Amino acid sequence: MGALDGQAVLITGGASGLGAAIVERFLEEGARLAVLDRAPERMQALAAANAERLIAIGGDVRSLPDNQRAVDAAVARFGQLDCAIGNAGIWDYSASLDALRTDQIDAAFDEVFGVNVKGCLNLAKAALAPLVRSTGALIFTVSNAGFGPAGGGPLYTAAKHAVVGLIRQLAYEFAPAVRVNGVAPGPIETDLRGPAALGMADRSIGSLNLAAVAGPNVPLGRVPATADYAGGYVFLASRRDSRPATGGVLSLDSGIAVRGIGRVSGGGGLAAKYAAGPAKT
């Protein structure tokens, strides 16, 4: 008997990477799933193998109608919605503000915040009524970048800080009917992509060899696999295990928050770069 037997769950960004790991774990735990993703064809084999328990919906989390369509599809198929997980996201590959060209900022900001923040807001709006009816749970994927610097550039870091604020505000607004929490992964071997506005739509974080780059720099000494993070979502979705939890973020950062003194700052080269006057960007 699984921890989520019979629960109906909607997951965004579930066709690859961390989202796919959450999907697989939730199926193991007995959940029935609706998955909203821009690439639903990636879910075809899994949906065929789990035809009674999984439906895939194509759409963009930046669109409220797409989120509403996914919620409606889940309720129509399963008769209820017990949990919604806002997991779709993109990363800015730690592009610094200095490195961003002035003609890139508007579009890149809109894209990063649109997917990472507005996507969560849209899901919450679309799922609110059925989650209230089921006294269910809303879970957002955060990041260690939601609490400190150097987990991304200013766009990603600011967006993930915004998601933490959204969790706290919605936990206040939705209580006592709906629990709202987050999971904050640290370094992760996944298929996270970048903003098209920065020419990074086809770039995967998996190309960075994080095991070699990040592994030695976290206290636990390794970069977890996507499946290692899925249990945190199961915990927060489980009414039995996390009934008292709302407004919080489960930190699964491999110890990033407890590192000792390392590099002092990331701006050591700016004085030399701009000493001769303003540079063109």
> Are 91 and 115 a contacting pair, CB within 8 Å?
no
**Residues 102, 181: Cα–Cα separation, whole Å:** 35
Residues, the chain, total? 281
Runs of H (alpha helix) within 29-118: 44-49, 64-78, 105-113
DSSP 136: -
C-beta of residue 15 within 8 angstroms of C-beta of residue 34: no
Query: Residue 219: how many CB atoms within 10 A of its CB?
Result: 12
Catalytic annotation present for 233: no
Task: Compute CA distances 30 → 26, 67, 244, 245, whole Å.
Answer: 6, 23, 22, 22
Long-range contacts of 59-62 (CB under 8 A, 24+ apart): 61/12, 61/13, 61/36, 61/86, 61/88, 61/115, 61/118, 61/119, 61/120, 61/122, 61/123, 62/114, 62/115, 62/118, 62/119, 62/122
Name, in order, each residue with C-beta under 8 angstroms of 34's C-beta and a sequence gap of 6 or more.
8, 9, 10, 11, 54, 55, 56, 57, 70, 71, 73, 74, 77, 78
**In whole angstroms, what is the distance from residue 267 CA to residue 271 CA?**
8
CA dihedral sign of residues 213, 219, 221, 222? negative
Which residue is catalytic, options 156, 172, 229, 274?
Answer: 156
Annotated catalytic residues are 156
